[in-house]
Structure 1
Amino acid sequence: MIGGHVAQFSVALTDTVMLGWYSVDALAAVVLGTQIFFLAFILGSGFAFAVMPMVAEAFAQNDETSIRRTTRMGMWLSVIYAVVMLPLFWWSQPVLVALGQDPDLSASAQDYLRVMGIGLIPALLVMVLKSYMAALEHTRVVFWITVAAAVINAFVNYALIFGNWGAPELGIIGAAIASLSVQGVMIAGAIAYTLIKLPEHDLFSRLWRPDFDAMTRVFRIGVPIGLTTLAEVGLFAAGALMMGWLGTIELAAHGIAINLAGLMFMVHLGLGNAATVRAGNALGRRDIDQLAAGARTGIWMSLIFAVFSIIVFVTQKEWLISLFLDPNDPNFDAIVTTGAAFLIAAAIFQFVDGAQALALSVLRGIMDTRVPMIMATISYWVVGVPVSYIAGFWLGWGGVGIWVGLALGLAVAALLLMWRFWKVMVPRLRDSAVPV
């Protein structure tokens, strides 16, 4: 599962690296565009994240009917949501300009998003099918499908961004077309595997028929998950917007640093997904001791990896930043210096970012989503965003101050969510021995 997330993230990482080689303006524009896309994508992914613990619980109970109904309605809700969101991508330039971004960068970001918006439908469907397969412990195929897509993305990027191999030079539009191609490959692979290897669930037969009871259950669990994840991604999007107020150099450096931090976060996310599945299985068997043991294991593994990522960021910061840039670019030195400072801040919050991710994951595994949504939103937006603004602008700390605010918001979320799981939910489940 970690490998699948790393491969998935490498798609966006490849876009960032190649556009950084192409031009700093293209890099800054894709940072803006990617933030908008992922805000929409993450909110819609709540339905896919809801499918994972629900299918895991049904799997533990050998309830194939519930597996089928849950997954189908996860796909229904994902498609409906993607269609509703398309206008945001098509008219994104006025939104970005209203948020204080440079008009030229906003126009380039809109060009990118008009192509990426089409890919939201297959992207969300892939998320649902990946959650379904992960809950059934078919994780290896998820990894290989994602790896194949990442390789294709790199080749198509190289051709269309720079105009290599006789292809037109499309710059940022080429990166968007490559990403759209990747989504097509992934959905085709996921559907093919499901039809061949999991025919007993008959997912696509009578897919056109709505199942309002199952849809309601997925919606009720999925919306708080989506809003929670949106609040977290929105925290980082707010950081990117504030970086844009500081200038193109800061925004480009932030984009590189956030991609590197995000790459490390994929490990925590994979561990969290595994914890979600194990928690759902344990809940289905009513085995609370195993639920607690699985959560402890995931948290310790996350902490160990956080130490590793801190060492890498602190000791290799300049080299890591330089990988994303053309050495001949006139802004090379300025971006490396600025980005290296941001990586120090990113290293600091590796602990808290992993901890809050694991806490959210195990809470999702036991279908506890509404209270964690409130806790996370308060942490990110009542603490994180205001502190970022105060430290970055009032105190004059610039981009580093913005990163300090991000770290503090994540730290508060980690503390509240860990308390919720260990001090509230585990005792409650022990007392009741039934789902809450």
Structure 2
Amino acid sequence: MWKHWNQPGGYRRILQISLPLVASMASTTIMEFTDRIFLGHYSLEAIAAALPAGILHFVIICFFMGVINYTNVFVAQYSGAGEPEKVGASIWQGLYCAMLGALFLLGVSFFSEELFIWGGHGPEVRKLEAIYFRILCFGAGPALISVSLSCFFSGRGYTRPVMLVNLFAACMNIPLDYALINGKLIFPELGIAGAALATTMAWGITALCFIWLVFTKKNNQLFAVWRARRFDGELFGRLMKFGLPGGVQFFMEIFAITFFVFMTGRLGKLELAATNIALTINSLAFTPMLGFHVGISTIVGQAIGRGEPAIGARAVTNSLHLTFTYMALVVMVFLFVPEWLLRLFRPQGMGTVEFEAMVETGVVLLRFVSLYTFFDALALTFSGALKGAGDTPFVMKTMLFCSIVIMVIPAYLAVEVFGGGLFEVWCVATAFISSLGIAFWLRYKSGKWQGMNVIGR
């Protein structure tokens, strides 16, 4: 145990990098969780609209996030290779991509109402979905800028600033949610629009904090964070070469989940609300895991940059030990006290009989979550390792295949052709996540990633 703790790529190094990222991701989860709690108490229509609109926004923005976040691997490999002057140039190429993404989201916002017609949800829910989605699109710029600037710290293994910034933004978001949704203090009652405004304001706070922390005189001297601001066509091209597959992979993953949510929405308002709540609770397990995903990607990237892939492999194994331990604790909560979690989301004015039916359904859905959670850990750990080395084309192709063949087509057939219910659709989602975990594990075991890099060495 002590050997696993202190050795290169051991538990200590993984926790040192990943735990602040876990806390950072947890702060994002807390923001979303409190959003849904406040909206759940506000009205059933608001909680039913928040997740489809939020996921649809995320499925669009996540493509750019996937590309931009790959700056993290460039920073990690350049740091491992001892070329700090390339760190600032990499960050700026990510910022240029962020600007393109912000302009795209701004254009999409003008088609908010049209995007939700296909969903087949009721007119009242559809109207709220369009409002929530439009406001989130307006705030996409600061969110994308924050992703790029955070890579300056996470790619070098200094993840505490990322944690502190995101925790601060979460602390600001919670009271803003309460005030803007319910009309407290000096604010008017804005309902679901208030939740979206609170989120975009938190993104703005995050971006300003990162700008203040990154663009210092010392960082400019060491890493050229301002001197390397020019557009570098060659470096930008390499970011696109490796980052675009990462963006497509991230897009397809969220698209598959979004399609799944819209399919459950076609089954009825109660089924949609139960699914939204179960997925929100699932985010308590999944989102912090993204911290280990980015952490292992950073460690593997640095090891590849130094020419020491064996240390990266050791870190992957140790990271899997830690993530499985975390997941086991979360699953125990899902299995033994699911009703307590579900009752946090009781909508205002909902009858006891209807709410108890939703809780009963939610308990079964959390059992599905408990089943696929460990495959989720496999997928996040091994895909993080593959991306840290530069094996993004395989990750992209696997996600494309599994999303279409195992999730989208079967979910559509289950609902629209065979008249299946909620549990049949959740079986499809479980198969989708399980297949990803197995596929990324097999690719990692092949060892091909150990001969790759993204910096042309």
TM-score of the pair, normalised by structure 1:
0.94
AA at the equivalent of 1:46: G
- The count of residues paired between Structure 1 and Structure 2 equals 432
Contact 2:414–2:425 (CA<8 Å) still a contact in 1? yes
The reply to whether residue 35 of structure 1 matches residue 55 of structure 2 is yes
Q: How does 1:311-350 map to 2 (within 5 A)?
A: 311-326=332-347, 328-330=349-351, 331-350=354-373
Give the gaps of 5 or more residues in structure 2.
1-20
* TM-aligned CA distance change 1:373 to 1:64, over 3 Å: same
Question: How far apart in 2 are the matches of 1:280 and 1:298?
Answer: 15
AA at the equivalent of 1:302: T
> Structure 2 residue aligned with 1:407, among 415, 425, 430?
430
The reply to whether residue 20 of structure 1 matches residue 43 of structure 2 is no
Question: How far apart in 1 are the matches of 2:130 and 2:260?
Answer: 19
Residue 231 of structure 1 corresponds to which residue in structure 2? 252
Contact 2:51–2:276 (CA<8 Å) still a contact in 1? yes
Question: How far apart in 1 are the matches of 2:360 and 2:110?
Answer: 35
AA at the equivalent of 1:166: I
> Structure 2 residue aligned with 1:271, among 268, 287, 292?
292
> Structure 2 residue aligned with 1:66, among 86, 99, 103?
86
- The alpha-carbon deviation at position 426 of structure 1 amounts to 4.7
> Structure 2 residue aligned with 1:93, among 105, 113, 121?
113
TM-score of the pair, normalised by structure 2:
0.90
Contact 2:309–2:450 (CA<8 Å) still a contact in 1? no
- The alpha-carbon deviation at position 54 of structure 1 amounts to 0.8
AA at the equivalent of 1:10: I
> Structure 1 residue aligned with 2:442, among 419, 425, 429?
419
Contact 1:35–1:237 (CA<8 Å) still a contact in 2? yes
Question: How far apart in 1 are the matches of 2:73 and 2:228?
Answer: 24
Contact 2:45–2:124 (CA<8 Å) still a contact in 1? no
AA at the equivalent of 1:24: L
The reply to whether residue 180 of structure 1 matches residue 200 of structure 2 is yes
Question: How far apart in 1 are the matches of 2:326 and 2:75?
Answer: 28
- The alpha-carbon deviation at position 222 of structure 1 amounts to 1.2
Higher RCO (C-alpha under 8 Å, 6+ residues apart): 2
The reply to whether residue 248 of structure 1 matches residue 269 of structure 2 is yes
Residue 296 of structure 1 corresponds to which residue in structure 2? 317
Question: How far apart in 1 are the matches of 2:181 and 2:270?
Answer: 21
Partner of 2:157: helix, strand, or coil? Answer: coil
Residue 370 of structure 1 corresponds to which residue in structure 2? 393
AA at the equivalent of 1:303: F
- The alpha-carbon deviation at position 279 of structure 1 amounts to 0.4
Instruction: Tell me the percent identity.
Output: 24
The reply to whether residue 49 of structure 1 matches residue 72 of structure 2 is no
AA at the equivalent of 1:203: V
Contact 1:58–1:67 (CA<8 Å) still a contact in 2? yes
The reply to whether residue 157 of structure 1 matches residue 157 of structure 2 is no
The RMSD of aligned alpha carbons is: 2.0
Give the gaps of 5 or more residues in structure 1.
none
- The alpha-carbon deviation at position 277 of structure 1 amounts to 0.5
The reply to whether residue 386 of structure 1 matches residue 409 of structure 2 is yes
The reply to whether residue 109 of structure 1 matches residue 132 of structure 2 is no
- The alpha-carbon deviation at position 154 of structure 1 amounts to 0.7
Partner of 1:117: helix, strand, or coil? Answer: helix
The C-alpha deviation readout for 1:353-398, integer Å capped at 9, x for no partner, is 1111111110010011012210122112211233334455666652
Question: How far apart in 2 are the matches of 1:204 and 1:45?
Answer: 22
- The alpha-carbon deviation at position 203 of structure 1 amounts to 2.1
AA at the equivalent of 1:349: Y
AA at the equivalent of 2:223: H
The reply to whether residue 171 of structure 1 matches residue 191 of structure 2 is yes
* TM-aligned CA distance change 1:301 to 1:395, over 3 Å: farther
